[in-house]
Amino acid sequence: MSAAANEFDVAVIGGGLVGASISYGLARGGARVAVLDEGDIALRASRGNFALVWVQSKGLGMPEYAAWTVRGAGLWPQLAQALKADTGLDVTLQQPGGFHLALSEAELEKRSNLLQRLHNQPRMMRYDYEILDHARVKEMMPEIGPQVVGASYCPLDGHVNSLRLFRALHTAMERAGARYFANHGVEAIAYEGGEFRIATARGEVRAAKVVLAAGNGNARLGPMVGLDVPVRPQRGQIVVTERTQPFMRYPVVTVRQTDEGTVMLGDSVEEAGPDPTVGLPIVSAIADRAVRMFPRLGGLNVVRTWAALRVMTKDGFPIYDQSATCPGAFVATCHSGVTLAATHAFVVAPAIAAGGLPREDFEVFSARRFHVPAAA
């Protein structure tokens, strides 16, 4: 690389959904952006997610996260339109509302209590949701099975084609001027003379600012720029059926039909460390519940299964932070890269470009919330 070729306004480390969304926002705002990515060896949650744009049930324990999620869902139409205008790619955003189905009275009661506690929190941004019985759910989704007792429904929920989103973000950020460096896993970051010198296996990149968006890799990278990023991998598994005729008007949190006709089944949670192995017992449990919800699924062939590693913090909420010791270093990490894609592009990126994360919006998401002395 020549000296001019490796100097940027911002280096974004991580080319997944979070990194690509922020890079797109930075580049369309005029910043010279370098995206440093491990490439296909990375354990990408961005290629293994469930593709929901989801609001209901998020924010219990941190009501500001509920508001952040509502804001993200509200900005999504703007993102879909911008990506289509910039790339010609339609990410097939659909926001008809979404369901969380219950297969017993106990499940429905638990669901109702959770949402009530969520909305009773101080500072909670309340939004519409309903608890529906079997008859009402069947009016809206005629193909549910008799074991569905009821559901929660939120009109803000939706879904998207996440693989097309991934492609659209990469295409859009590069057309806006960002440079993508594949196979540039970061080995070290040094802060010298007001700039960041980033060592990769393929050479050094310099930038005035750096954004850590490397998912679980942020735990290793954070201390290099004075940031604490306590994240861990959490395994989720997904089952995909063959294509079938459209039968779902709404996404369910564990079952959704894609715009291409396949049906995705998922939502498992396992503390399995960095192991992305698919396990038959979990896959069987996912399939069993899905067939009880929609009996027609029992007649479809499974065409793929996979496991992916979420990026999980101690309390499950995102970390957005900026370094006190290395000015210009930021971190953005979460496990909702689809839902929050629009906020990353249209809110986080402009704030970073302007020089800092506004305290009123981001202080609650700082990792300093974990720095609580143990009780005596």
pLDDT of 293-321, one tens digit each? 999 999 999 999 999 888 999 999 999 99
pLDDT at 328 over 60: yes
Residues 6+ apart with CB under 8 A from 342: 21, 72, 75, 76, 78, 79
pLDDT value of position 376: 45
Ramachandran sector of residue 267 (left: φ over 0; alpha: ψ -120 to 50; beta: rest) = left
- Section 244-255 average pLDDT: 97
CA angle 23, 28, 34 (to 5 degrees): 35
- DSSP-derived secondary structure for 18-68: HHHHHHHHHHHTT--EEEE---TTS--GGGTS--EE--TTTTTT-HHHHHH
Residues 6+ apart with CB under 8 A from 80: 90, 91, 93, 160
**Phi, psi of 100, rounded to the nearest 5 degrees:** -120, 105
pLDDT value of position 374: 56
pLDDT at 182 over 80: yes
pLDDT at 21 over 80: yes
**Structural domains for the chain:** 8-52+163-230+315-370 (3.50.50.60), 98-155 (no CATH), 232-312 (3.30.9.10)
pLDDT at 25 over 50: yes
pLDDT at 369 over 70: yes
What's the CA dihedral at 17, 23, 26, 32 to 10 degrees?
180
For the question of whether the overall pTM of this predicted structure is more than 0.75, the answer is yes
Percent of residues, the chain, with pLDDT higher than 90: 88
- Section 203-210 average pLDDT: 96
pLDDT tens, residue by residue, 207-223: 999 999 999 999 999 99
- Section 21-39 average pLDDT: 96
pLDDT at 33 over 50: yes
pLDDT at 3 over 70: no
| Whole-angstrom distance, CA of residue 348 vs CA of residue 10 | 13
- Section 220-249 average pLDDT: 96
pLDDT value of position 197: 97
In this structure, are residues 156 and 70 in contact, taking their beta carbons and an 8 Å threshold?
yes
pLDDT value of position 373: 67
Which of 272 and 374 is assigned the larger pLDDT? 272
pLDDT value of position 1: 44
3-class SS at 296?
Answer: helix
pLDDT at 5 over 80: no
Integer Rg of the chain from CA: 21
pLDDT tens, residue by residue, 137-150: 999 999 999 999 99
pLDDT value of position 4: 55
pLDDT at 273 over 90: no
pLDDT value of position 107: 98
pLDDT value of position 276: 85
- Section 114-124 average pLDDT: 97
pLDDT at 2 over 60: no
